[in-house]
Structure 1
Amino acid sequence: MAVKLPLADELAAIFARASELLLTDETVSRALELITAAAEAAVPGAAGAGVTLIDADGRKHTASASNTLVEVADARQYDLGQGPCLLAWASGEPVLVTDVRNDHRWPAWASAATELGLRSSVSAPLLTGDSALGAVKLYARDENSFSPATVRLLELFAAQATIFLINAQARESARMISEDLRDALAHREIIAVAKGILMARHGLDEDTAMQDLLMESRRAKRSLRDISVELVSSTQLPR
């Protein structure tokens, strides 16, 4: 099936609209929903689009899906541990499936996709440096729905989705630091004592002692006050 891809100015308009989210408090979920909807709309014949995220421990989840069919098709890949989306993530390369019935790379998933009425797919990894955060994918009910040109287009959407993820992670880190600092101001007396303990115990300067408290707070996912109270309570003060 021939696929008419959007013109350059249409793609520019999509990405310009998407990029506005980087300047707002929109969540990463909302950003990925926009990318998913735009990717599906950009390719006639697509039965659905989605974004899979995979963490450092290999845990997989569909962060955005245009419909239930995408969620189910993704879940089959996760359950079976095989499929085009997972290969795109693992290899860092786009994966094109022209007809699942004639593709022998993942027999179990090909059978599951056929049962769902899917015939073709294309997946592009979310690349950051030498690693991948997951993949963007399109599914179709007809064979030969996607071409190498579709692959290149989906790589553009994957690049945009990666930008959202990186910026969202940076915003989240900044938000956590801001919350820690607000907590510090609200409970500065107990925190000052905890900081003094670290300075005396490890020969640290004031700034380094504060950084150690902040890092422990984020690592343990507990408030700075609670970390300080615990440290003070566990320290035998001289009589």
Structure 2
Amino acid sequence: MISEDLLSTLSELANVLQTQRTLGGALANIAEAATTSVPRCDAASVALSLSGRPVTASATARVALELDVVQYDLHHGPCLTTFRRAEALRLDLVGLEAQMPHFAVAARRRGVVAVMSVPAIWGQETIATLNIYSRTGTFDESAEAVAAVLATQVTIAVSRSPEFAAARDVVEQAQRDADDLSDVSVATGMLMANQSCTAEQASGLLRQAAEHDERTIVEVAQRIIRQHRAT
């Protein structure tokens, strides 16, 4: 059952979110609400998934941001596990060195003894996580229940945000550009090996083939790679 305090917090949060014009502002308010409504929450953050890459969109304290970044650097931790499994995770960091040694050490250095990560799910996708950090004790089921309610607010805020859609488009285009550049680089190397030519000469061959076939250099590079793999 939702407590009167939580109902009051949600009511206040709903009023605030209606006046927010940016996604960042909305997420900041949700994270701040976690620090007042989730038992033993000392810091909170909201991490968004942009084309599978986590990025912290809001944090109530430096420690939350730092521990989010630690996980991104390690490619491991409760936030990333929640993204992958789409389920809430509560961890007591005491004795967790065997499972997440580097993260556990980083957290305890900052005085954090427990962490909880709850997914914000939109359709079949985890689009964000609400990450809760404690310096005072572990999280129980009641704390998780409150965090889950707030995670739903994250889903609503993100799903309605044109900023999120635009950010995803930018990241996806950047990834496509990087993939295209990689294909051109690979094809150039193949031509250098097969034609015994320099990188400049190989680039010239790619340009000539693209002009002759009325294709882009990327399309020609991808064709060369396919032909090489087929032999």
TM-score range, shorter chain: 0.5 to 0.7
Pairing of 1:134-145 with structure 2 (within 5 A): 134-142=128-136, 144-145=137-138
Residue 131 (structure 1) aligns with: 125
Tell me if the contact between 2:23 and 2:163 (Cα under 8 Å) persists in the aligned partners. Answer: no
TM-score scaled by structure 2? 0.65
User: What stretches of structure 2 of length at least 5 have no aligned partner?
Assistant: 167-172, 174-231
Partner Cα separation in structure 2 for residue 101 and residue 61 of structure 1: 28
Structure 1 residue 72 corresponds to structure 2 residue 69:
no
Residue 146 (structure 1) aligns with: 139
Partner Cα separation in structure 2 for residue 115 and residue 27 of structure 1: 34
The 1:172–1:55 alpha-carbon spacing in structure 2 relative to 1, beyond 3 Å, is closer
TM-score scaled by structure 1? 0.63
SS in 1 for 2:149: helix
Residue 39 (structure 1) aligns with: 34
Residue 121 (structure 1) aligns with: 115
Counterpart of 1:136 in structure 2: which amino acid?
L
Residue 166 (structure 1) aligns with: 159
Pairing of 1:47-126 with structure 2 (within 5 A): 47-56=42-51, 58-102=52-96, 104-126=98-120
Counterpart of 2:72 in structure 1: which amino acid?
Y
SS in 1 for 2:95: helix
Residue 210 (structure 2) aligns with: none
Structure 1 residue 27 corresponds to structure 2 residue 10:
no
Tell me if the contact between 1:89 and 1:126 (Cα under 8 Å) persists in the aligned partners. Answer: no
Partner Cα separation in structure 2 for residue 79 and residue 138 of structure 1: 19
Partner Cα separation in structure 1 for residue 48 and residue 162 of structure 2: 13
The 1:18–1:104 alpha-carbon spacing in structure 2 relative to 1, beyond 3 Å, is same
